[in-house]
Structure 1
Amino acid sequence: MSSNTVDILNTIRDNLQYFYYVIFLYGTIGNFLNTMIFSRLKPFHGNRCAFYFTMEAIGGIVFLFLGLINSIARQIHGSDLVDSVLIWCRIRFITMHGMALILFFTICCAACDQFWSTHYRFGVRYQYPLKLARYIMLISSCIWLSHSIVFALFLNIQSSSSGCVITNFILIWYSTYCFYPILYGPLQIFLAFVFSLLAYRNVRHIIRQQISIERRQLDQQMTAMVLIRVIFCLILGLPYTCFRIYIINHPFTRSNLLRYTIGQILQIIVSLLFSANFASNFYIFFATSAQFRRQVKYFFRQKTNRVRPFNVITATSNQNYIDVS
């Protein structure tokens, strides 16, 4: 009975892996469209939040492509190389986790920047230029990749457990209480959520100030998009972080084949959700922002008709709410 259950679970596990190809396909298309829209359309030129969205879209494509390489290698080899080849275990950690840290930090920067750019004080609102945002992304990316390289040096293969694991006691403590809870999502997303709510409050205050309707509309749109992005990031990213903290301290051993197989299925599910977190931006924005839908439609129209004038701001001057419908 137990053997039949394990066989059924192995079949489920093998079939679940094919969902990643679906995520890769729609994620690559969505991130590519985000990159084009935020970098090409005139309302987003010089906007720092749009710059962070563009960087997240480019990083999302890289993240999904790295995951695709790992999935193809797993299909060719017949098993996950991470559990049997040490160099592959370390390279995958450096690339995937390093890129995920960069993406989480980018989301946090977008939320913080939206708070500062909607501040009621004019001097605070224009405190730093787009050029500084680019330097922040460059320096932070180097820091996160260096952190991942140092971290990966302590990874080892244990054939009796779940393969590629941390064996150093100090690093286990660091992963449990610092790396995954603080750096790898939860704290950064919590800060992003707080700053998103503060930006929402700022936008409602800015409406009463003497600023152009175009700037007001853009501030409303970007604030709403940042807030909804942070919410989905929390929903899709938190299960993976919790699972990683658990498995580091309680690894699934091969001696209990049923528990080990269930652990693999859970790992694939949370990994799929984690990948979907960086694949769904375009579709989240398109579904929740009427303004973004109009901009997407204009983007495709201008490809076929270059003569038509640019006009995607259609809201009236008495709009006093953030449009997320």
Structure 2
Amino acid sequence: MCTIKLTRCFTLGTGLIWFIHSIIYGLFLNVNPSLGCVITNPTMTLYSSWFFYPVLYGPLPILIASLSSLFAFNNVRRIVRRQVPIVRRRLDQQMTAMVLMRVVFFVIFTLPYAIYRIYTINIPNPQSNVLHYAIRQLLQAFFTSWTGVNFAVTFYIFAASSARFRRQVKYLIRKYWRQWKHCSFCAAQNQVGPINTVSGNSDIDLE
């Protein structure tokens, strides 16, 4: 049902909406020397507690990604039953496996951070209790790093779930490695250095 043109419009519209939302959301963040960026506006606190993290950041992207992966899986099953070239069938199967793996890890890396953010927004972190405060700071650092992994492991997920992707990566690495070695060899051959010549004329008298 979705064409390339419609997909580009959806992508552009989604990026524009999130860009505007991020600017508005960032205006209500205040920098605390000990806590980092925190929300102090009561209205924005309610919005973050009841809509942003419970809907926009957590369940909604997970639901959309899960439905897309299920549609892709159903599409591959329908292609298997149809008379299509075997190469196209294998490519679609590998792409579906990559998408499914990506969705699973997306849920694993995104959901804990959303739950923790809802907890921290609704329950303040008292600095009077030093132990409790240190534990909360440690958890915040852990979950922030954990959700950051979500944007760094896509390559490794695809490499682990697709043999064709691994072969393509190996081919590109070997190709560019040969090019780099060739360029390095040519650069070494084209180096220019001074030539020391010793005059053989022994009739020159030094004064």
Q: Same fold (TM over 0.5)?
A: yes
CA apart distance, 1:196: 0.8
RMSD (Å) for aligned C-alpha atoms: 2.2
Unmatched tracts of structure 2, length 5 or more: 180-207
Letter in 2 for 1:144: W
SS of corresponding position for 1:207: helix
CA distance in 2, matches of 1:198, 1:132: 17
Match for residue 133 of structure 1? 7
Out of 85, 91, 116, the residue aligned to residue 212 of structure 1 is 85
**Which structure has the bigger radius of gyration?**
2
Query: What TM-score results when the alignment is normalised by the length of structure 2?
Result: 0.77
SS of corresponding position for 2:146: helix
CA distance in 2, matches of 1:281, 1:174: 30
Match for residue 168 of structure 1? 41
Report whether the alignment pairs 1:147 with 2:21. yes
- Paired residues, number: 179
Match for residue 142 of structure 2? 269
Single out whichever of 150-159 and 203-212 deviates more from structure 2: 150-159
Write out per-residue CA displacement over residues 15-42 of structure 1, whole angstroms, 9 at most, x where no aligned residue: xxxxxxxxxxxxxxxxxxxxxxxxxxxx
Match for residue 186 of structure 2? none
CA distance in 1, matches of 2:106, 2:69: 13
SS of corresponding position for 1:252: coil
Match for residue 260 of structure 1? 133
Q: 1:158 to 1:270 in 2, by over 3 A?
A: closer
CA distance in 2, matches of 1:273, 1:151: 22
Letter in 2 for 1:186: P
Unmatched tracts of structure 1, length 5 or more: 1-123, 307-325
Q: 1:268 to 1:210 in 2, by over 3 A?
A: same
Match for residue 72 of structure 1? none
CA apart distance, 1:252: 1.0
CA apart distance, 1:158: 5.6
Write out per-residue CA displacement over residues 292-311 of structure 1, whole angstroms, 9 at most, x where no aligned residue: 212222222443679xxxxx
Aligned structure 1 segments of 4 or more residues deviating by more than 4 angstroms: none
Return the structure number with greater relative CO, CA threshold 8 A, min gap 6: 1
CA apart distance, 1:282: 0.9
Report whether the alignment pairs 1:231 with 2:104. yes
Match for residue 30 of structure 2? 156
Kept in 2, the 8 Å contact 1:192–1:230? The answer is yes
Kept in 2, the 8 Å contact 1:286–1:292? The answer is yes
Identity across the alignment (%): 52
Match for residue 244 of structure 1? 117
CA distance in 2, matches of 1:304, 1:168: 54
Match for residue 203 of structure 2? none
CA distance in 2, matches of 1:132, 1:170: 35
CA distance in 1, matches of 2:3, 2:71: 19
Out of 75, 88, 91, the residue aligned to residue 202 of structure 1 is 75
Out of 289, 304, 313, the residue aligned to residue 162 of structure 2 is 289
SS of corresponding position for 2:37: strand
CA distance in 2, matches of 1:226, 1:128: 19
Q: 1:204 to 1:264 in 2, by over 3 A?
A: same
CA distance in 2, matches of 1:231, 1:162: 31
CA distance in 1, matches of 2:178, 2:30: 57
CA distance in 1, matches of 2:14, 2:141: 29
Query: What TM-score results when the alignment is normalised by the length of structure 1?
Result: 0.51
Kept in 2, the 8 Å contact 1:237–1:274? The answer is yes
